[in-house]
Chains A and B, each alone.
Chain A
Amino acid sequence: MPDLLDVKGLRASYGATQVLFDIDFRLAQGEITAILGANGAGKTTTLRAICQAVKTGGSVMFDGRQLVGKSTESVVRMGVAQVPDGRGTFTALSVEENLKLGAYVRKDRAGIAQDIEKAYERFPRLRERRHQQAGTLSGGEQQMLAISRALMLRPRLLLLDEPSFGLAPLIVAEIFRIMRRINEEEKVSMLLVEQNANIALDVAHHAYLLETGRIAVSGPSEQIKNDETIRRVYLGH
């Protein structure tokens, strides 16, 4: 399988502060790749760099096309959806309006209606609350909404920023189970950024360990999970 995403020498900075230093990683078509790391390692910035929401250098090839230098909106229009840090819900809009916005760049009305239905089947809680303001949802429901909204794009690549953040373990487990199903059934490739290494390594095929803006370790998830040294040094248990 060719690589869907091929990142080479990626740099990113906020003003004068450089956060990412020449990062290389790849994501094969149809796979889930995890980027792990502590707070401040540059995980969120990596995602922001891919969708060009931060000043970026280096090369990000998505399906053979260069993303560096494009606008965020154009990257999204090429089929890269994101579940951002803090979920990015439109809190004053209804659940259904949030879902419709996810499909903003699509024009096939029937397909959109079908996908909204699918989202409700996946997360029945969202159907119950479809006319409610998104801001009134619980944290877990908002995360479900954020993922559903991103899927409304029918993305080829889904970027997920800490979907487990601030949620109860049971809800985290449910969300990750559904993510795996989406990956298997709908062949959506995913780039997952997580602090929770255990759960991320369970679902991902490959993983990269990010340390202060540089890749420290990379390899298949199984290997990283079972490597004593890596566990002790980087994952802290």
Chain B
Amino acid sequence: MEAFLHQVFAGIASGGIYASVALALVMIYQSTHHINFAQGEMAMFSTFIAWWLMNSGMPYWAAFFLTIAVSFAGGLLIQRLILKPVEKAPVLTNVIVFIGLLVIFNSVAGWVFDHTIKPFPTPFPKGSFIETKWFSAHEIGTIVVMLCVLAALFGFLRYTPVGLAMRAAAQNPESARLVGIRVSWMLGIGWGLAAAIGAVAGMMVAPIVFLEPNMMSGILLYGFAAALLGGIDNPWGAVVGGFIVGVLENILGAYVIGTELKLTVALVLIVVTLTLRPNGLFGKAVVTRV
């Protein structure tokens, strides 16, 4: 029983990470109806930046926040320079751009930082005071950090004028322009936020999976599964989906199919969701009149 509970709690911790990756995907999907396949590699690259900053002697939290800021700026720049020119292009064009970004980030990370696996520090080391019987310090720290990220994001979208403008732009870009909102910049800010959220997820997951250019490929799949399960257009759904996927993955991995096949859980979830409930648990069915 104790071991089982521990699996559940570990699942909740990784669920927090999947939830934020899913949330980053939803942020971009809501405003552009595109799935950013490069989300994981962007997060990985951000984590390398954090690693480099710490290696040059910066304390953990300073590097943490600086990485978030740099990632935000990077995401914004990517949208402005690379995605804006194809804003009106067909979906496939965008997909190709995303895959291009994925390959570029992956290769550049390997080229600059090399492919050897690197340990990444956690700010919540073993034996620190937040450790409990059920949660390791890093697990509980991850959950707290992720909840802070989610709270900050929802607060921003809900209570600030820019957040309101972003929601308006995502919902009805034409009307948003008619009240003077610069819609294209809102997409840019959305990209920045998604990159920043991804960076946090990357820095939280790196101590577990170790830092290397392919570290996010599995995580991104879980993120996809979470986003689809919750409903790709629903941020709350993405969060709930993240925790469900995290717990399911851990329990099935420990008791049913073994750790080698864990990733299959994500793939099966994606297929099952798309077949049985394409709008996810909380997504809205979109009805279009023809």
Contact = CB atoms under 8 A, between A and B. Distances in A.
Given A88-B175, A89-B175, A73 B182 contact: yes
A179 interface: no
A59 B176 CA distance: 25
A230 B76 CA distance: 56
Interface in A27-85: 51, 53, 72-73, 76-77, 81-82, 84
Interface in A93-123: 93, 97, 100-102, 104-105
A100 B167 CA distance: 13
A102 B179 CA distance: 5
A101 B171 contact: no
B164 A76 contact: no
A84 B174 contact: yes
A122 B106 CA distance: 58
Given A100-B164, A104-B161, A104-B165, A72 B178 contact: yes
A176 interface: no
Nearest to B183: A73
B179 A104 contact: yes
Contacts of B177: 53, 72-73, 76
B281 interface: no
A173 interface: no
B181 interface: yes
A101 B182 contact: no
Interface residues of A, number: 23
A25 interface: no
B180 A93 contact: no
Contacts of B180: 73, 76-77, 104-105, 153
A21 interface: no
A76 B174 contact: no
A88 B178 CA distance: 9
A234 interface: no
Contacts of B175: 84, 88-90
Contacts of B165: 101, 104
A97 B164 contact: yes
B225 interface: no
Contacts, number: 63
Nearest to B167: A93
Contacts of B171: 90-93
Contacts of A101: 164-165, 168, 176, 179, 181
A53 B179 contact: no
Interface in B140-163: 161
Contacts of B259: none
B172 interface: yes
10 contacts: A76-B177, A88-B172, A89-B175, A90-B167, A91-B172, A97-B168, A100-B161, A101-B164, A101-B168, A102-B179
Contacts of B179: 76, 81, 101-102, 104-105, 149, 153
Interface in B167-211: 167-168, 171-172, 174-183
Contacts of A97: 164, 168
Contacts of B167: 90, 92-93
A90 B167 CA distance: 9
Contacts of A81: 178-179
Given A88-B175, A104-B181, 6 more contacts: A84-B174, A88-B174, A90-B175, A101-B165, A104-B179, A105-B180
Contacts of A53: 174, 177-178
Nearest to A103: B179
Contacts of A88: 172, 174-175, 178
A90 B172 contact: yes
Contacts of B176: 90, 101
Nearest to A109: B161
B162 to A, nearest CB: 10
Nearest to B175: A88
B235 to A, nearest CB: 12
B285 to A, nearest CB: 15
A153 B177 CA distance: 13
A108 to B, nearest CB: 13
A51 B179 CA distance: 11
Of B164, B178, B182, which is in contact with the most chain A CB atoms at under 10 Å from its CB?
B178
Contacts of B181: 73, 101, 104
Nearest to A72: B177
Contacts of A51: 178
Q: List the 8 shortest-distance A-B pairs measured between CB atoms, nearest first.
A: A88-B175, A76-B180, A105-B180, A72-B177, A82-B178, A104-B179, A73-B182, A101-B179
B168 A93 contact: yes
